Amino acid sequence: MTDRIVLGTAGLGMPYGISNKTGKPDLNSACDIVKTAFDQGITRFDTAQAYGDSEEVLGSVFDKLKIGSDSKVYSKLHPQLDCCDPEAVQRSVESSLRKLGLKQLEGLLLHHEDQLSFWDKGLGDALKGLVTQGKIKSIGVSFYTPQKALAALDIEAIDMVQVPANILDRRFEDAGVFKKAQERNKKIFVRSIFLQGLLLMPLDQLPASMKYAQPFLRQIEEMASAMNLTRQELVLGYAARQWPGSFVLFGAENSRQVLDNVKGFSSKTVFKFDDNIFKSVPENILNPMLWPKSGD
């Protein structure tokens, strides 16, 4: 099942996630994480121009491990890029390729769904031109709202969508995004299966500003315990089985987390799950952009 896993590398370029206690890893640690993933059969990597120096780090790791030609990399246009300027788009992609040490991106995504408003103002043509040049293989968009994802699936040139989904978050599934993507033969990449680490945090380590999430985390804890699973195994197992035709992203702070995630995702454990149990989770839990900032 590792052919469905994508290693998220935001954490290689900047401190990432509410539960991150180690910060950005050094190059040796980054090498260890990527090598462990690659050795487990993971050859897909997700990065972005806005993820600190993630592209540069990943490129250095590829060079050191000599695995760039055997890897498939997805990156995202910087959210502040002038999307109406085809030359700026071209330069940004060429910069990403140089940093990564690659000749082609497996996929290039718009980092934010709002960038789609520039599609008919030159951005669509610029991206299709990059496909023709062989600099990118596929075009995609990272979404935050199901309605915009549904609309984008009607655009012929968009081959893939990246959406947040997890054991608590069924918004895109309930809206029909997964079903429509399958009907349109578009790829779906699921991110936030751990909700930036929130779903795995010890209850007594929740920041005071996030205590309102505690009842839902306690429910997950109780469900996992009843099935003799860890929360991590439950969350991963749910993702693996709920969206069998999708790719699933996860990040890791160390190689041990990579191995644990692969094991949980690939587990043959069968468990029963009541789909109605998390039908009314508040959006200020599901959407990290709505989380209180530190000190709020």
Provide the residue range defining the domain that includes 258: 2-290
pLDDT at position 20: 47
pLDDT tens string 161-217: 999 999 999 999 999 999 999 999 999 999 999 998 999 999 999 989 999 999 999
Tell me whether residue 138 is in a domain.
Answer: yes
Reported confidence tier of residue 295, pLDDT bands at 50, 70, 90:
very low
Tell me whether residue 296 is in a domain.
Answer: no
Q: For residue 10, what is the domain's CATH number?
A: 3.20.20.100
Reported confidence tier of residue 280, pLDDT bands at 50, 70, 90:
confident
pTM for this one?
0.94
CA distance 201 to 222: 14
Whether the pLDDT of residue 294 is over 70: the answer is no
pLDDT tens string 55-93: 999 999 999 999 999 999 999 999 999 999 999 999 999
Tell me whether residue 295 is in a domain.
Answer: no
**Helices 231-242 and 255-266 meet at what angle, rounded to 10?**
50
H or E, element range at 73: strand 72-77
pLDDT at position 269: 77
Whether the pLDDT of residue 21 is over 80: the answer is no
User: Tokens representing 86?
Assistant: 């085809």
CA distance 26 to 76: 23
Query: Number of structural domains, the chain?
Result: 1
Look-up: residue for tokens 């002038």?
Answer: 82
CA distance 269 to 213: 27
* Other Cβ atoms closer than 10 A to 291: 18
Tell me whether residue 219 is in a domain.
Answer: yes
Whether the pLDDT of residue 49 is over 90: the answer is yes
Query: How does DSSP classify residue 154?
Result: T
Nearest to 200 by CA among 221, 226, 181, 176: 221
User: Tokens representing 144?
Assistant: 């935050």
Tell me whether residue 16 is in a domain.
Answer: yes
DSSP string, 86-134: HHHHHHHHHHHHHHHT-S-BSEEEESSGGGGGGGGGTHHHHHHHHHHHT
CA distance 234 to 278: 14
**118: which residues sit within 8 A by CB, 6+ positions away?**
83, 84
Tell me whether residue 142 is in a domain.
Answer: yes
Tell me whether residue 243 is in a domain.
Answer: yes
**Is the torsion defined by CA of 49, 164, 130, 118 positive or negative?**
negative
Tell me whether residue 44 is in a domain.
Answer: yes
